[in-house]
Structure 1
Amino acid sequence: MNNARASDPITSVIAGERAALFAGNHYDRILAALADDLNPPVWGGMTAGEMARATGMSVEQVCRRLPELQARGQVQVVQFEGEDLLRNGYRVWEAV
């Protein structure tokens, strides 16, 4: 995956290349947290903030990976009455 533009400085290109190395670890940590979400208070899915606390990652790292995991068919936003389920204003995600 290319995470840098041709006009980006070399430091950004290097950072983009390194991101691919730990993305898999992030996926695994997020999926493990969602698999363990059967314990209150996060039963029924987790928000990105809850996943960040459970995984030791930053919210930004989690938010970056969720759409990627969704595109891979591994997570989805919890639906309630045809709408995205929100908790404290944030979408709730679950493993598929």
Structure 2
Amino acid sequence: MNNTRAYDPVSSHCAAEHSARFADRHVSRIMAALQDEKSLTAGEMAECTGMTVEQICRRLPELERRGHTQVVQFEGADLLRNGYRVWEAV
């Protein structure tokens, strides 16, 4: 995904390219953690991956839209643990 405009400076285009590489690595680390542990909160994923909660929370909605993850449901509501939603790989 390119978040730059045609008239943005070259440095913005380089930063966007660099950001895309980070995103791919983040996705790989998140998915590996979910495969190992089955269901985790963003806080638990941060501990497993060495990433920050903010980095995790930025990627989870993208992964959900792609059909790779989902929030665990319990009695028709999002399952929460320690104030975080619990996620699983699909």
Q: Quick one: which amino acid aligns to residue 60 of structure 1?
A: E
1:16, CA displacement in angstroms? 2.4
By percentage of residues, which structure has more strand? Answer: 2
Identical positions, percent? 68
Could you say what secondary structure the match of 1:91 adopts?
strand
- Mean Cα displacement is larger for which, 25-34 or 13-22? 13-22
Structure 2 unaligned regions, length at least 5: none
Task: Say which structure, 1 or 2, has more relative contact order (CA 8 Å, 6+ apart).
Answer: 2
Relative to the length of structure 2, the TM-score reads 0.85
Structure 1 unaligned regions, length at least 5: 39-44
Q: How many residues align?
A: 90
Give the one of 20, 45, 50 matched to 1:51: 45
Name the Cα RMSD after superposition. 1.9
Is the 1:3–1:17 Cα contact (8 Å) retained in structure 2? no
Q: For residues 22 and 93 of structure 1, do their structure 2 counterparts lie closer, same or farther at Cα, with a shift above 3 Å needed?
A: same
